[in-house]
Structure 1
Amino acid sequence: MTDYNTMTLSSARRAYLASSTTALPLSGFICWTCFMVAAYFLGSDLPIYAPYVAAAAPVPMALAIDKLRGEPGLRADSRENPVTQLFMRFIFVVALLLPFVIIAAKAAADAHLLTLGVAILAGLVWVPHGWGADDKSGFIHFVARSCSCYAAYLLAPDNMKTAAIAGVVALAYIYAMAAMKKPASAR
């Protein structure tokens, strides 16, 4: 058992990176690409909960991909790491902000706002991940993803806004796969 009370911050960050997964950006890319295709073909018939599925499904899918690859995935001992705890708390903060997106989309009578809000809020978790892994690509991912989502919302034709936002998020995951530090570099 690791004693995180006596560990330096750089050691805790290295331990966080070592216990993280490269499957998350891959599963995020798959989920948001599927959402984009569904939004393109279904248009306004797309279920209103679809953005939540696209945002939530990458985590269990990443765990399954890790199992298939023979990777350790989430380990019980990493729960004690304060960097991991910060990351998990940030996920909770994002979850607390999601009702605001629902309220705003409903008040504006604009379902595209729901996708925009979910896409940006789900991207927020890349900020503490990048900080925890001592990797600037997490912050870059979030900023590029957010600005591109805003651009897609503002510039895409109304019938394509949701598909365009989802496509932007899928592209952001390609960047994450290429740029993020790999757990093996810390093991």
Structure 2
Amino acid sequence: MRWLRYGPDAALVECESLDEMSAVRAVVVAAGLPDLVEVVPGARTVLIAARPGSTGLAQARKLVESAGLESADGGESREITIDVRYDGEDLDLVARTAGITVDEVVELHTGATYTVAFTGFAPGFGYLTGLPEPLRQSRLDTPRTRVPAGSVAIAGEFTGVYPRSSPGGWRLLGHTDAVLFDSRASRPALLAPGDRVRFRRIR
């Protein structure tokens, strides 16, 4: 793990793995340090910003370096269920690649509990960890120029939902009517780092 200065009042923590990043974020968020203004996780980094002139960064670093990150707990997290129609264009491809049936793909995807590790790519897009091993498949060789909003997809170790229509190369399992991002809402993004997510099949 490396701590890099990121301007006068922030630090970028470079982590060895996604799990280590999640543990660092959890420790810092759970502490509720009053002088921290933002904690932004990425795939292998955590950006920590403090109030100018405060000791917030030093406190955060001391906490992280003294914590047992293997047992880090991010405190209370929301549990969100997303209803999905499993009718995606790549459902058969995913089943063939995994060597299982389409129904087994759906059972695996709906049977897991996921954690929002970080957000990015587009407003409201959460990268969800916890994908069962047979569904951990590569992105498409040729990305689509347009993926419809609400598409539920997988790529590598992640699953996620496209919050709006955009290009994309993830494998599509189905779609949901859930609104992932609404700029007019008091909480614009449905998903936030640390949230727990389940997918539920609907017909």
Q: TM-score, length-normalised on structure 1?
A: 0.22
Structure ID, larger Rg: 2
Greater relative contact order, per chain length (Cα 8 Å cut-off, separation 6+): 1
- Considering fraction of residues, name the structure with more helix: 1
Q: TM-score, length-normalised on structure 2?
A: 0.21
- Considering fraction of residues, name the structure with more strand: 2
